[in-house]
Structure 1
């Protein structure tokens, strides 16, 4: 009989793990949000669309390239060749070259996750709050104390701080891992009011990245959508500030850096990512957390120092280890 496995989180790591274990176990994914994506999320308002989490990804490993190949072939994933610049309040802008392919999903970054999800058992808007072990099985409960089922394994692909709270593992299990916050500013600006470049790395500013999302492949240029990300240091220092003031400050920074008139900004939204960027990981970690005796595990980009591909690689390595040990 196949074991029952609960996977918490339906971002890239959770979906990768579910797909790779599907022939070996009965899988249920629990996702607290209304849709798939995690930090590969896309927000919509009317016909505007903002990829307010991950902006792009690279593919360096053979395994990740293998996963992407059919999605590249069918147009779900497209290489992005932007006109990219570097901005700083201290020096003139200069062109910034890229030396490897960069990819985006269409029509939004969560398009890849949606394409990976058919056939999987996914419970959306379901927040796993508590685990209880009884007679060798794990019983899961949501934040309303309703029981979600009984499972042989529980695996978290949630961000590190949430995983630490959920999984009853030794405190030193998570030593060496960490995550930091980021603000995502989402602006509505007509394309004609924006500079000619498509994206910018930003130095010496509360902002670190600006992208004109509507110019990405598969988007509609008629509905100008700007995403600007803060630095982790600035977000750390202002995480509990009044959010309207944060939005105002970052919008001012955007206008100053780009030369866009404040009057051209038709609308501004703010998203506070408390767990946005994974800290660099020292040495060469396995890429996952595993307690085989208690049948608990965790994976995610935070296990390998960030990047979209790190989320895939962490889940891919964990799946291989679970299959090797016969679950």
Structure 2
């Protein structure tokens, strides 16, 4: 009989786990949001869209390249070759070359996750509020204290702070303490393309902002629906995390206009998104790709284990799945 596994979170890490373990276990994914995405989410209104989390990803491992290959072949993932510049309040802009392929999903970043989901058993709009042990199983309860199911294994691919709250601290607490996460603000703007500079994206130095991208110029987007995504630095976001959000919005907007030369009057819409858990802090132990307690049958993984990149989410989950496949699911359960 196959073991049952509950995976909390249906982002890239959770979906990778489910795909890798689906032949060895009966798997249910629980996702609190209405759709797939996590930090690869795409926000839309009637006419515009913003990839307000991850803007792109690279593939530096053979395993991640293998995952992407069929999605590149069918056009779900395409290479992005933008005109990149570097901005600073005190220096002239200069072109910034990229020395490896950078990819985006089409028509939005969350399309890759939708393609990966396939026929997986995913429970959307379902918040896991409590994980408790009963006899040889783990019980998952929602915010109304209703039973979501009983499972042999529970694996969290949720952001670190949520994982720390959900999984028993007496079992995984010490192992989770080595990790940390940092916040980031995303400023989402609507601007006519004619009012924007000729470059497509910018790395920013010495400012509250660290990244700017003209989202509508990414492959597969609507080039007529001008949208801009501005990301703050984690340091600035940490210092201003609980500030009045209208003040934060205005400060980032002023910084963007000053750096880019865009006239504030040309901006027709301004939104602010606060990512409380956006980036991974420096990991003290470089070999800590995931957290696993085989005796308790609990585990956790995610980009926060390996530095916060999109590929880090895949790698953390992929390495955990390989350990479970070879050492436990096939031989002990």
**If the length of structure 2 is used for normalisation, what is the TM-score?**
0.97
Matched position secondary structure for 1:140: strand
Q: 2:293 aligns with which of 287, 291, 312?
A: 291
Contact between 2:76 and 2:105, CA under 8 Å: does it hold in 1?
yes
Contact 1:128 1:142 survives alignment (8 Å): yes
What is the CA deviation profile of residues 60-118 of structure 1, one whole-angstrom value per residue up to 9, with x for unaligned ones? Answer: 10000000000000000000000000001111100000000000011001010000001
Q: Quote the residue 1:163 is aligned against.
A: 163
Aligned with 2:231 (options 229, 237, 256): 229
For residues 111-148 of structure 1, the C-alpha deviation after alignment (integer angstroms, 9 at most, x for no partner) is 10000001100011111010111111011001121110
**Corresponding position of 1:252:** 254
What displacement does 1:283 show? Answer: 4.4
Which of residues 183, 186, 199 is equivalent to 2:185? Answer: 183
In structure 2, the residue matched to 1:32 is: 32
Q: How big is the shift at 1:245?
A: 1.0
Q: Does 1:85 align with 2:98?
A: no
Task: Work out whether residues 179 and 284 of structure 2, in 8 Å CA contact, stay in contact via their aligned partners in 1.
Answer: no
Contact 2:179 2:304 in 1 (8 A): yes
1:326 is paired with a residue whose SS is helix
CA–CA separation in structure 1 for the residues paired with 2:108 and 2:252: 24
Structure 1 ranges of 4+ moved more than 3 A: none
Structure 2 counterparts to residues 137-176 of structure 1, below 5 A: 137-168=137-168, 169-176=171-178
CA distance in 2, matches of 1:75, 1:320: 28
Give the distance between the partners of 1:285 and 1:174, measured in 2 at CA: 14
Cα deviations by residue, 1:20-57 (Å, 9 ceiling, x for unpaired): 00011111000011110110110001120100000111
CA shift, 1:251, in A, is 0.8
* Native 8 Å contact 1:198 1:211 kept in 2: yes
CA offset at residue 280 of structure 1?
2.4
| More displaced 10-residue stretch of structure 1: 165-174 or 139-148 | 165-174
- How well do the aligned residues superpose, as a CA RMSD in angstroms? 0.9
Aligned length: 327
Quick check: 1:285–1:303 contact (8 Å CA) kept in 2?
Answer: no
Distance 2:283 2:240 in 1: 25
Query: Does residue 261 of the first structure (1) align with residue 267 of the second (2)?
Result: no
User: Which residue of 2 is the match for residue 130 of structure 1?
Assistant: 130
Rounded Cα–Cα distance in structure 1 between residues aligned with 2:317 and 2:82 = 30
Alignment match, 2:304: 302
User: Secondary structure of 1:78's match?
Assistant: strand
The 3 A distance-change label for structure 1 pair 125 and 2 is: same
Q: Which moves more between the two structures, 191-200 or 142-151?
A: 142-151
8 Å Cα contact 1:64/1:313 also seen in 2: yes
TM-score by length of 1: 0.99
Q: CA deviation at 1:284?
A: 3.0
1:279, CA displacement in angstroms? 1.4
Instruction: Report how far residue 297 of structure 1 moved.
Output: 0.2
- Specify every segment of 5 or more residues in structure 1 that has no aligned partner in the other structure, as ranges: none
